[in-house]
Chain A
Amino acid sequence: MSGPHGAGDVIDGRYEIRSDVGEGGMQFVYAAHDKLIGRMVALKTPKNKSATKRFKRSAIVAAKVNHPNVAKTLDYVRDGTNRYLIEELIEGSDLQDALLHRSGCLDPYSAAKVFHHLAKGVAAAHHAGVVHRDLKPTNVMVVGGYSLNEIKITDFGIAKMANEELIEAAEGGTSTMTTSQTAVGALPYMAPEAIETPRAVGSAADVWSVGAMMFHLLSGAPPFGTGLAAVRRILDGTPPPTPAFLTANPQFASLAKELMDVALQCLQKNPDDRPMADEIVTLCGMLCYSIEPRAEGVIRRIDYGAYGFIETEGPDVFFHTSSVYGPRLVQVGANVIFASYDGGGARRAHPVVVVDAPQA
């Protein structure tokens, strides 16, 4: 376990630490058992004790947002000199670990679902007057892996705090930018105004970040790359080129293009030119996409380069190569994520996305 706590530690006589969930630039995250109520919760504590005042503010901000696509704030406690935010424990992993880590991109149906739910959560926050400021894949939690049972945004609260560090990093120039852990993770999704005038960012910066994540989900990479080079490209204002595979397959071309068009609108340099979160919700609400659960398998065989079978835990599933989305070649032995439908002899898979083999 990392950070100040180990399993068995009890915070405020009530929250018993069970395990370590993760750590980012700003905070340690633990899974804890709330002994009073008898349920599991997420417990977050800032890394930097001098930041406690801002941490409290951040908890208050987070508590204002109440929506199914936003992690619920449950409590805020102090124990000795430490401060803790208690939040709904989301039993899943973040967008980075759950999805991007192995596949790079999602099929357009899944991407549409993520887009729709992200926009809903962000819109609810904006209605409550809350700007996230630090939207990035590790602040989006996913339950059910590729099946996307639930999508929840977290760390609305820490935004302001991260922002201060981001401001320091931004004002300290590009060298600080690349050494600040917070800035490094957030950078590829950061709006130009968040880099140039970090003290004056509004809700349009969140819209940019949602667009940047969408771009990543659809195309397999953040729109302006990562690291230092991204800063220049983000500020440049030139729209990022979209890979040809997006529209190469008539099975996916139309939805992929519709989604990418919205993502690119979000990535306009001038904040006033970007849509409101509400407008993205409306657009997504009109899109047709299937939300079937996804399964995982390995390509067993491919015949005539046209169709084949996927080995799964159950019976093999039939697929046609025209159902495969993404830049990666489908070949025997490849790991794939797919949805499947009733069929004679075997179920039929659609869509199919090639992913890395799971790590042992």
Chain B
Amino acid sequence: MRTLPARYQPSGPTVHGGMSSVAFCMDKVLERPVAVKFLQATTHRRRMDDELAALLKMRSKHVVQIYDLCKFSDNYIGIIQEFIDGKDLFESFAPPNGIDGYYRQLWQIASGISDIHAVDVIHRDIKPNNVKIDPEGVIKIFDFGLARDAGPAAATVGFVGTPGFAAPELYATAAKFTSAIDVYAFGATSLFMATGDLTPELKAIPPAPLPTGYFGAIRIPTGKNGTALSAEVVRLLDACLAKNPNDRPAITEVRDALARHLLFDRHQALVVFRGSPSYLNAANRAIALRFGTVGSVDIAYDGLKFAVTAASGEVYINNRPVATGYQLPGCCVVALGSPARRNNERVFITFDVSHPEIVV
């Protein structure tokens, strides 16, 4: 190993991995710990350049940040990265902190992978060992050891990845792969984080399909009995592990569904009728709005959305006639009385939906 600039003082042994090694150092200038990843590009020059390009493209809360770079030679570099204090999700496995805690972790990982895919990069080695939670509770994905840009060039010879988390298509000779391998690995990571292990099917080489509806049987420990995952999340997590990459959802779809479920029963609608406000929320799920014989509408909250459950007469929402089943947009005006009537023969009720923001 070449010597690092004197400002980086090793503070422990160097850890050797497959294609690289990592040294933990103290940056004496800024007096903070850093992780230095050494990459030797003998046969993997492209991989090294790819990893670097990938990391530099990244601007994500959930991906580890590069501070500095040391070029020892054309084929040998050190990447000075932020040091995340804390154990990885594999070492520190603990049953999730309720269903909310579980969704919150998965949502952060899915957000990180979404950011990675947004710049056309495939991480290629998503697994609990490559995810850490920092002291502020922010999840960070690291170790882009195998990252490579998506697109036509995303093919490799031979197997690269971690068994148990590697998608079935990676076991094919001259495997062709897409960002769907990260989605598969995310599915396996989600399973691990719920149970602390992988199933025999996933551990098989190559992996076998899970029994259908597997995630539906999972119970996240809460109180005496566990909590089941919501049907939509079950469907999506099951689909992440589909054998055919085309059957897997985009990671953004998974992220957005998790965000919705994190906000389950936490939405609120402020309803202002003739200057007086009232609220629709988990404690008060339904409201009936009536204006004489002109029109009436019932609106109910099901924990995820606000929808019309009954309507009769002249009912318009944001200027559109509505019927049962109509889902209200974030903010709207409910008008009882058609636009053909004079303004003083109609009533207007404002209906504004909001929810807490998920901030990491």
Contacts and interface: CB of A to CB of B under 8 A. Distances in A.
Interface in B87-140: 134-136, 138
Interface stretch (A98-106, A328-336, A341-349): A341-349
A292 B329 CA distance: 12
A66 B82 contact: yes
Given A63-B30, A66-B82, A341-B329, A74 B357 contact: no
A289 B355 CA distance: 6
Contacts, number: 117
A59 B354 contact: no
A309 interface: no
Nearest to A116: B359
A19 B319 CA distance: 49
A37 B78 CA distance: 12
Given A120-B359, A320-B333, A339-B331, A250 B354 contact: no
Contact of B357 (A37, A289, A322, A343): A289
B311 to A, nearest CB: 15
A117 B65 CA distance: 20
A325 interface: no
A285 B100 CA distance: 14
Nearest to B52: A37
Contacts of B286: none
Interface in B126-156: 134-136, 138
Contacts of B310: none
A339 B350 CA distance: 15
A59 B30 contact: yes
Given A67-B136, A348-B318, A251 B350 contact: yes
B69 A37 contact: yes
Residue among B32, B331, B354 with the highest chain A CB neighbour number at 10 A:
B331
Contacts of B316: 344
A290 B319 contact: no
Interface in A89-125: 109, 113, 116-117, 120, 124
B276 to A, nearest CB: 7
A318 B353 CA distance: 18
B272 A322 contact: yes
Contacts of B270: 251, 254
Contacts of A116: 357, 359
B37 interface: no
Nearest to A38: B56
B29 to A, nearest CB: 5
A67 B275 CA distance: 42
Nearest to A113: B357
B360 interface: yes
A339 B56 CA distance: 33
Given A37-B68, A60-B30, A341-B331, A289 B318 contact: no
Contacts of A281: 359
A259 to B, nearest CB: 13
A117 B82 CA distance: 22
A258 interface: no
B348 interface: yes
A344 B32 CA distance: 56
Given A36-B69, A348-B332, A288 B319 contact: no
A301 interface: no
Contacts of A291: 357
A250 B30 CA distance: 51
Nearest to A287: B356
B272 to A, nearest CB: 5
A33 B134 CA distance: 29
B268 interface: yes
A291 B354 CA distance: 8
B138 A68 contact: yes
Contacts of A322: 272, 350
Contact of B356 (A66, A285, A292, A306): A285
Interface in B54-86: 56, 61, 65-69, 71, 82
B277 interface: yes
A281 B356 CA distance: 12
B356 A288 contact: yes
A341 B350 CA distance: 13
B350 A290 contact: no
A348 B329 CA distance: 10
Contacts of A73: 30
Interface string B220-250: 0000000000000000000000000000000
Contacts of A253: 277
A63 B31 contact: yes
A350 interface: yes
Contact of A320 (B138, B267, B348): B348
A351 to B, nearest CB: 9
Contact of B277 (A120, A250, A285): A250
Given A75-B68, A109-B354, A250-B272, A68 B360 contact: yes
B343 interface: yes
Given A250-B276, A250-B277, A341 B355 contact: no
Contacts of B29: 75-76
A285 B359 contact: yes
A320 B333 CA distance: 9
Contacts of A341: 318, 329-332
Contacts of B343: 304, 306
A283 to B, nearest CB: 11
A253 B278 CA distance: 12
6 contacts: A67-B136, A75-B68, A342-B329, A348-B318, A348-B331, A348-B332
Can you list the 4 inter-chain pairs with the closest CB atoms, starting with the nearest?
Answer: A343-B318, A344-B320, A344-B319, A288-B354
